[in-house]
Structure 1
Amino acid sequence: MTNQNLEGTMGDLLKDFDVKRIKTGDILDGEVIDVTDKEVSVNINYAFDGVIEKSELTNMDKDPREVVNKGDKIKVYVLSPNDGEGYVQLSRVKALEITEREDIKKAFENEETIKVYVKEEVKGGLVAYYGNIRVFIPASLVSRERVVLADYIGKELEVKVIELDFRNRKLVASRRVIEDVIYEDNKKELWKSVKSGEKRSGVVKKIIKAGAIVDIGGITGLIHLNDLSWGRVHRAEDIVKEGDKVEVFVGEVDAQNERVALILKDVNEEPWTKYSEGLKIGDILEGKVMKFLNFGAFVELYPGIEGLVHINEITEEHIAKPSDVLTLGQKVKVKILDVDKNNKRVSLTIKDAEEKSKEYLQYNDSDEGVSLGDLFKGLFD
């Protein structure tokens, strides 16, 4: 072969490879072409292949065949362009140290997530690694829920870098910020799906003075005391307790301010719909005294239906207040004076009901014109 032909052949060979471009410290893209228990051969698109010794492949004491496979695409760092035997000495460890820092810096600046391997639990949180770079996750930032830190050891976790200072080796990450975003996104979708009038399953989370807080699947709403039962409710804990599973109706929804009113009482059992036919003027019913006001007393006729007995309708005698002659919880006979179904109001009288009862007793006390009083007259003289 002439010198001219040789020069042509070498020219063709090096056409796609520029030897001057390969120098110590370069980071190159490579493809694994062979793996043994001692080293890895890599095609770096150069006139010579590269070699990674076991110690330069990973910081962990692992067989190279457990780390990479033939065909894998990897980043490599040039230790020496020529080892004297026609190979380029490469390091995956050093390449990772550089690329991992770049990856983390980019993720931090762009507020992107990275995946880390959790190695151990320490005081105050978890120690994880992004490749060879140590990452600390404070306990309060592991999750938005209460968790056992030890359960994360040995697992891969997606996190977001919230503090980065390579000079002082300070790298802090959070899983919670990711979960918070997911939670808020899901909550927005949930609020879009909540419709007034629908029925939902829920769990009582908290009892408060105004009623009960119920979780209906990521959204919490209030059941006011008045909506716990059709009857009068003084304390929410008389109807429900924390942890109870309940079926509720959705009342007013304010998605913008994330507020929803819930109803525990069955809307299909509305008392005025159920019992109004039994409310007729002149009828005498038995009721229970539920509440006192200065001007009268409320008497429950049916669960959820109460009527007002004005103070002048309680007794023929003059009284200063209803409690002078009545007690809460007392059962009394009442006569219906008026029914206003549109405004759901009932006017009652106790004194007229008593008079009618006395007339009834007087009628039944007589026998052929002789009253029981006449029969026993003089018996105790």
Structure 2
Amino acid sequence: MSEEINNEESMQDMMQQYEFKKIHTGDIIKGKVLKVTDSEVFVNINYFSDGVIPKNEITPYEDEDLNSIIKENDEIDVMIIKSDDGEGNVLLSKIKADGIKGLEELEEVYNTQKSMEVLVKEAVKGGVIGYYKGIRIFIPASQLALHYVEDLKEFVGKELQVRITEFDEEKSKIVASRKVIEKEEAENKKDRLWKTIKKGEKREGKVTRIVKFGAFVDIGGLEGLVHISDLSWSRIQNPNEVVSEGDKVTVYVQDIDINRQRLSLAIKDVNINPWKEVKNKFKVNDVVQGKVTKFISVGAFVEINPGVEGLVHNSEITEENIAKPSDILKLGEIVNVKIIDIDYSNNRISLSIKNASESSKEYLKYNDEKEDVTIGDLLKDKLKNFKFD
């Protein structure tokens, strides 16, 4: 008798518990996952009967594996669709529950301008589609990155940090941007660089642009100019002779102007100045060998030591009248030159090819004259007192 009374009391307790949990269509409640199959998920919603969620109320993608989305014992939010699906179960929807909660969260993110993460599922014309709790978010191609994106499909399957730029619940229109976040990060990185960079230090960088007067190098968020004169100790006419876009280079910080946001860099090794050797190695009237490196309208440059070039004016190439240096010389040709002037303060040397030839002729003439001297001439002083029989 006492057992029957206890059973009745337990039944009443259980009934009261279920009566306390009333459900209505459209309610969003929490449930615990009991079982996951290929086509549906069973959920304990603390009601007379369990809830069931069809696959299409969990994901819009037919080929998606439900086990990759939901696991047994997961606690999830669901919406009541029907109190009886015809088989004694409560019909539920996870997509609709997530959508309502997700919209509330997205509106708050939009109003506070916080960053959020979305999963990109597909590439469409003009951009990509990302999802947040089943809610469709459009990211235009122009807002995917700071740089131009050629292949939108490279973002499919990736989770991106974005910021919502347009939110219209009535039109179900939500637009986001990844570019604004990248731009802010780049600006913050640039500000930090301006504060830490020091004159004279070495930095690793990448050549971003080639212009007539030099090359721009990015040193990790900060772009500086390497003037054409600072690309090499040798004279060059085009920056492409030394660097190409995309090259990784080591640069020296020459000058910093934070107020004007300008950075001056050098690729040539500023610690090894080949012109420092000129004073000890060369002097005016020396005749040396050099290599023809380039032509200009008024003459030719000849390198007489690595990084040290001198100008041979057209009038110093030959005694003949020439229209241009290439009439007589060839690039890469090895020639004798005479140093006729050295300007140490401006790192300039004036050379002469014709005078070097004249010096060589004088030397040869001197040798020829010496070769005409006989043995008798050389020994005449020693033989003058010698008596022959």
TM-score normalised by the chain length of structure 2: 0.65
Is 1:54 matched with 2:57?
A: no
In the alignment, is the contact (CA less than 8 A) between 2:303 and 2:310 conserved in 1?
Answer: yes
Structure 2 residue aligned with 1:275:
278
* Aligned residue identity for 1:273: K
Task: State the 1:161 CA deviation.
Answer: 1.8
Distance 1:16 1:181, change over 3 A: farther
Is 1:163 matched with 2:151?
A: no
Whole-angstrom distance in 2 between the partners of 1:34 and 1:28: 18
Aligned partner (choices 209, 213, 235) of residue 210 of structure 1: 213
Structure 2 residue aligned with 1:132:
134
Structure 2 residue aligned with 1:376:
none
Task: State the 1:99 CA deviation.
Answer: 0.8
Identity %: 40
Structure 2 residue aligned with 1:378:
none
In the alignment, is the contact (CA less than 8 A) between 2:337 and 2:355 conserved in 1?
Answer: no
Task: State the 1:361 CA deviation.
Answer: 5.5
Distance 1:120 1:326, change over 3 A: closer
* Aligned residue identity for 1:28: I
* Aligned residue identity for 2:270: V
Is 1:141 matched with 2:143?
A: yes
* Aligned residue identity for 2:145: S
Which secondary structure does the structure 2 equivalent of 1:267 belong to?
A: coil
Whole-angstrom distance in 1 between the partners of 2:223 and 2:320: 41
Task: State the 1:231 CA deviation.
Answer: 2.2
Whole-angstrom distance in 1 between the partners of 2:261 and 2:273: 28
| Cα RMSD for the two superposed structures | 5.2
Structure 1 residue aligned with 2:96:
94
Which secondary structure does the structure 1 equivalent of 2:210 belong to?
A: strand
* Aligned residue identity for 1:142: L
Aligned partner (choices 227, 231, 234) of residue 230 of structure 2: 227
Which secondary structure does the structure 2 equivalent of 1:261 belong to?
A: strand
Whole-angstrom distance in 1 between the partners of 2:116 and 2:203: 38
Structure 1 residue aligned with 2:254:
251
Whole-angstrom distance in 1 between the partners of 2:33 and 2:72: 5
Structure 2 residue aligned with 1:108:
110
* Aligned residue identity for 1:266: D
What CA deviation, in whole Å up to 9, does each residue of 1:250-302 have, x standing for no partner? 33244565543332323343122233201346645567798788xx9998754
Whole-angstrom distance in 1 between the partners of 2:358 and 2:59: 100
* Aligned residue identity for 1:51: G
Aligned partner (choices 98, 106, 121) of residue 123 of structure 2: 121
Distance 1:42 1:66, change over 3 A: farther
What CA deviation, in whole Å up to 9, does each residue of 1:51-80 have, x standing for no partner? 344378525468876653333222233557
Residue pairs, 1:221-370, within 5 angstroms:
221-254=224-257, 258-280=261-283, 283-285=286-288, 302=305, 304-305=307-308, 328=325, 333-334=337-338, 341=344, 344=347, 360=363, 363-366=366-369
Distance 1:223 1:58, change over 3 A: same
Task: State the 1:226 CA deviation.
Answer: 0.8
Which secondary structure does the structure 1 equivalent of 2:277 belong to?
A: helix
Is 1:197 matched with 2:200?
A: yes
* Aligned residue identity for 1:238: E
Whole-angstrom distance in 1 between the partners of 2:372 and 2:95: 119
Structure 1 residue aligned with 2:6:
none
Whole-angstrom distance in 1 between the partners of 2:295 and 2:66: 83
Which secondary structure does the structure 2 equivalent of 1:144 belong to?
A: coil
Whole-angstrom distance in 2 between the partners of 1:323 and 1:193: 59
Which secondary structure does the structure 1 equivalent of 2:104 belong to?
A: helix
Distance 1:29 1:165, change over 3 A: same
Distance 1:71 1:277, change over 3 A: same
Which secondary structure does the structure 2 equivalent of 1:69 belong to?
A: coil
Structure 2 residue aligned with 1:42:
44
Which secondary structure does the structure 2 equivalent of 1:269 belong to?
A: coil
* Aligned residue identity for 1:225: I
Distance 1:72 1:209, change over 3 A: same
Task: State the 1:172 CA deviation.
Answer: 1.5
In the alignment, is the contact (CA less than 8 A) between 1:118 and 1:153 conserved in 2?
Answer: yes
Which secondary structure does the structure 1 equivalent of 2:265 belong to?
A: strand
Task: State the 1:170 CA deviation.
Answer: 1.7
Structure 1 residue aligned with 2:77:
75
Whole-angstrom distance in 2 between the partners of 1:291 and 1:277: 29
Task: State the 1:103 CA deviation.
Answer: 1.6
**Unaligned stretches of 5+ in structure 2?**
3-8, 330-334, 374-389
What CA deviation, in whole Å up to 9, does each residue of 1:79-108 have, x standing for no partner? 57899x999775434322311211211121
Task: State the 1:232 CA deviation.
Answer: 2.0
Distance 1:190 1:21, change over 3 A: farther
* Aligned residue identity for 2:54: K
What CA deviation, in whole Å up to 9, does each residue of 1:197-221 have, x standing for no partner? 3444544443211022334455443
Whole-angstrom distance in 1 between the partners of 2:300 and 2:179: 56
Structure 1 residue aligned with 2:28:
27
In the alignment, is the contact (CA less than 8 A) between 2:336 and 2:357 conserved in 1?
Answer: no
Whole-angstrom distance in 1 between the partners of 2:323 and 2:289: 14
Structure 1 residue aligned with 2:377:
none
Structure 2 residue aligned with 1:374:
none
